[in-house]
Amino acid sequence: MNVVAIVTVAHHASDGELALTPVHGEALLTHTVRGLLGVPEISSVLVAAPQRCASSFSEAVAGLGCRVVPGSLRQAFAAVEPDLPRDSVVLLHDALRAFIPAETVRDVITAVRDGAPVVVPVLPMADTVKVTDAESLIVGTEDRTRLRTAQTPIGFTLDAFRAAGYPASAPAGAATVPGHPDAMRVTSDFELCLAEAIAAAPRDEETL
């Protein structure tokens, strides 16, 4: 079964520049792509690069064996869609989640192969979640035992990815697998410090 991973920076306008933030001497994007390519189940990796960042993205992943497609997620998918077998798995991964363990990626792939159309890695909500009204007054407390924070890669069957639209996201009813704290989005100074520590730590075969 073919598995293609598409790396995007589609959440915020500034994510393209954040993906080029150096961590342990290399861009976040470099860590992200290298890690995905290190998962044997993944057949190919594409990067959907904003036009303004296309050259910098290409430099960041030079020599890694992935393909950079200038433009949107739709354009990146169109570049490979005609060659994908019907039973392909499509992984959609946030470029800023550079250090997700390989085992989590494999869990997503396995769950799709086992029959789930869409699979999302998630973590339990640790904080107490309050509900506020229009005046910012607390009016209730959510039951956090049923709340989860979503991570990537989101795994899709080929048909489910086509049906998801753009930007692609996980619909209600999507299956879940356990996520991992290392798969945080690196967007703040604090997260950057954590990313530096993760990148500098000895790596094993289960870590991207």
Mean per-residue pLDDT for 108-117?
97
**Of 83, 86, 205, 103, nearest to 153 (Cα)?**
103
Alpha helices in 114-188 (DSSP H): 158-164
Cβ-contact 76, 47 below 8 angstroms? yes
Contacts of residue 31, defined as CB under 8 A and 6 or more positions apart, other chains included, come to: 23, 24, 98, 99, 199, 208
pLDDT exceeds 60 at position 60: yes
Mean per-residue pLDDT for 66-70?
95
pLDDT exceeds 90 at position 168: no
CA dist., res. 202 & res. 208, Å (int): 11
Question: Residue 173 CA to chain centroid, in angstroms?
Answer: 19
Mean pLDDT (the chain, rounded): 92
Question: Residue 108 CA to chain centroid, in angstroms?
Answer: 11
The backbone torsions φ and ψ at residue 173, rounded to the nearest 5 degrees and listed phi first, read 95, -5
| CATH H-level superfamily of 3-121+148-200 | Spore Coat Polysaccharide Biosynthesis Protein SpsA; Chain A (3.90.550.10)
Sorting pLDDT into bands at 50, 70 and 90, what band is 207?
very low
Give pLDDT, residue 127. Answer: 86
Cβ-contact 186, 17 below 8 angstroms? no
Mean per-residue pLDDT for 112-139?
93
The residue extents of the domains of the chain are: 3-121+148-200
Give pLDDT, residue 204. Answer: 57
Give pLDDT, residue 103. Answer: 96
pLDDT exceeds 60 at position 199: yes
Where is pLDDT greater, at 34 or 167? 34
CB atoms within 10 A of CB 145: 7
Cα angle: 100, vertex 195, 167; to 5 degrees: 50
Question: Of all helices (H) and strands (E), which one includes residue 178?
Answer: strand 175-178
Question: Of all helices (H) and strands (E), which one includes residue 11?
Answer: none
Tell me the percentage of the chain whose pLDDT exceeds 90.
Answer: 81
Q: What is the three-class DSSP state of 46?
A: strand
